[in-house]
Amino acid sequence: MEKKGFHLANEASLVVSAGYTGLHGRAEYNAAVSHVFDLIIASYVLFNNRSYAPSVFLSITIFEEIAKIKAGHMRAKGAQNKQVKRGKDPLFNHGNKHKIAIDPITLSGQRVPNSIGSERAREIIEGYGSGNYSSLREESLYFSRNTDGLHIPSKSISLTLAAEHLLISIEIFSDEFWGMTSEASEVCDRTDEIYLNIEAVLKGN
């Protein structure tokens, strides 16, 4: 049976690897949240410049970094956490991080469905939950040439897909970190205007 995001998040919280020992104190937690905010800004800049493929790649990276904070930040306090090699650490697997971040419970509010439609929101959530959408990470960044022909990311990644991913990344970011610390809440509040701007572009497309 395939593991759900919350199962993977729990597993990730109970282990520690040399590659990620957790976040050591409030200052590191706030710094990690600010780093994710910087990625949101970068994805937004790319989106506004109509560089939709790299914007999608950064939005997916945002999912992954959120998962690392969400599931792993307490590792520093877990003296009894099981030591594992990097290859066995759930937070060094792209698909696992996507499942941890894009949790149906986290996205159970109405903001994203109101922005992109309920059916589309459910399709994206289920796509990452099953792992089918995780291939977008590479498809949005790398060109390929197979028997079907040449694939160039900029030719296949649309404004709509980029907007959907950035809106979801902002929603997860705010849901996970608002209220955790005053600094994190302040940063989360700064994404509201970005969200509204992206939504306006999407609905006007």
pTM: 0.94
* CA neighbor of 36 nearest in space, from 166, 197, 202, 137: 166
**What is the Cα Rg of the chain in Å?**
17
Cα gap 42→50, rounded to integer Å: 12
Residue 102 has what DSSP assignment?
S
Amino acid identity at 7: H
pLDDT tens profile 14-49: 999 999 999 999 999 999 999 999 999 999 999 999
pLDDT tens profile 154-187: 999 999 999 999 999 999 999 999 999 999 999 9
So what's the pLDDT on residue 105?
A: 78
Q: Torsions phi, psi of 96, nearest 5?
A: -60, -45
Q: 3-class DSSP state for residue 144? A: strand
Q: Angle 94-101/118-130 helices, nearest 10 degrees?
A: 140
Q: How many CA atoms lie within 13 A of 44 on its CB side?
A: 21
pLDDT tens profile 84-133: 999 999 999 999 999 999 988 767 889 999 999 999 999 999 999 999 99
Q: Which two tokens stand for residue 153?
A: 């990311």
**pLDDT tier, 76 (very low <50, low <70, confident <90, very high otherwise):** confident
Amino acid identity at 121: A
Cα gap 51→184, rounded to integer Å: 28
Secondary element (H or E) of residue 145: strand 144-146
pLDDT tens profile 47-74: 999 999 999 999 999 999 999 999 988 8
Burial 95-118 (b: 16+ CB within 10 A, else e): bbbbbbbbbeebbeeebbeebbee
Q: How many CA atoms lie within 13 A of 77 on its CB side?
A: 9
